[in-house]
Amino acid sequence: MEAWVLITIAAAFLQNARSALQRMLKGRLGGAGATFVRFGFGLPFAALYAAAVWSWQGAIPGPTAPWALFLTLGAIAQILATAALLASFSHENFAVGTAYSKTEPIQAAVFGAVLLGEAPSAVASLAIAVGVAGVVLMSWKPGGDGSGLRRYLGPAALLGLGSAALFGVSAAAYRAASLSLTEGDAMIRAATTLAAATAVQTVLMGAWMAWRAPKELRAVGAAWRPGLLVGFCGAAASAGWFTAMTLEPVAHVRALGQVEILFTVLVSAFVFRERPSARDLFGVALVVLGVLLLLRATGGLAL
């Protein structure tokens, strides 16, 4: 099995763990605070990881103008994507927005083709579509206010699509940033980009919260113990994503990353005691099928 496959699966697992921990913090922090935890408490771990990689390899990649531009674009796009997703939750039919946000692998493939010229093959495109269909099926629950076009093209849907687009831009920009560094292997370039991007996000979000939500920022500080665990899982997951996207086109990585939904179902069932529905199980089957098609298309199972 190729390295990017194993790294992506590990990143998906760690991201799921981070999400579960953030869910546990939901009662103590608001949306902005729970979002900032992943950056603010993740920064020390990202910095330590980068320092360890630099020390191990005995080099620090020199920054370039394209690298700085792309990592800043990725960092800002990721913050705005998270904000758009949280905003979609304010609508009663938020499940529609959540479902549309799950189209991110498709949009990541588009932006990867535009920014990097990395268009997926026909089989890989089919795999991405099948996997997205499975995730959307699980996210798109019946009910909610409105009907017809108002439901499917209303504010929640537009925010969900916007969130997916911004996450797609972020993923493609991060890969472009890592590839813009001319020194070192995939690990050192990914670690350098991760540390810099997390620092940018921490500064930007921290400044905004100090200005607009100082009470929420203080609540984040008070939740430092669980916050450190969230930060560690978030930084470790990001290290995996950045490394995988340095090794492999972003469309393939984000599509394989949908295996996170399998971990989500397991956590939901065994930690939160939530029983999966038939719709959920069918969605999982589609995700698995999409992953198998993707691995076949990319040769990801090659030893």
Q: What per-residue confidence (pLDDT) applies to 38?
A: 86
**What pTM was computed for the model?**
0.87
Residue 303 lies in a domain: no
Q: What per-residue confidence (pLDDT) applies to 180?
A: 94
Residue 289 lies in a domain: yes
Among candidates 41, 5, 46, which has minimal Cα distance to 22?
Answer: 41
Least confident of 33-37, 118-122, 232-236: 33-37
**DSSP secondary structure string, 230-299?**
HHHHHHHHHHHHHHHHHHS-HHHHHHHGGGHHHHHHHHHHHTS--PPPHHHHHHHHHHHHHHHHHHHHHT
Block residue for tokens 């020199």:
62
Q: What per-residue confidence (pLDDT) applies to 303?
A: 38
Residue pair 271/17 in contact by the 8 Å Cβ criterion: no
Higher confidence at residue 203 or residue 1?
203
Residue 77 lies in a domain: yes
Total domains in the fold of the chain: 1
Range of the domain at 74: 3-298
Among candidates 194, 197, 220, which has minimal Cα distance to 11?
Answer: 194
Pick from 12-21, 64-73, 218-227 the range whose average pLDDT is largest.
Answer: 64-73
Residue 15 lies in a domain: yes
Q: Tokens for 131?
A: 């996997």
Block residue for tokens 């608001």:
30
Block residue for tokens 């904000």:
83
Block residue for tokens 């010229």:
117
Q: What per-residue confidence (pLDDT) applies to 46?
A: 97
Higher confidence at residue 77 or residue 162?
77
Mean pLDDT of the chain: 85
| Burial zone of 147 (CB within 10 Å; 0-12 exposed, 13-18 middle, 19+ buried) | exposed
Residue 261 lies in a domain: yes
> At a CB cut-off of 8 Å and minimum separation 6, what does 1 contact?
300, 301, 302, 303
Q: 261-279 pLDDT, tens per residue?
A: 788 778 777 776 777 788 8
Q: What per-residue confidence (pLDDT) applies to 154?
A: 66
Q: What per-residue confidence (pLDDT) applies to 277?
A: 81
Residue 276 lies in a domain: yes
> At a CB cut-off of 8 Å and minimum separation 6, what does 55 contact?
none
Rounded distance between C-alpha atoms, residue 5 and residue 2, angstroms: 6
> Stretch 176-196: mean pLDDT, rounded?
93
Q: 203-227 pLDDT, tens per residue?
A: 999 999 999 989 999 999 998 888 9
Rounded distance between C-alpha atoms, residue 75 and residue 172, angstroms: 11
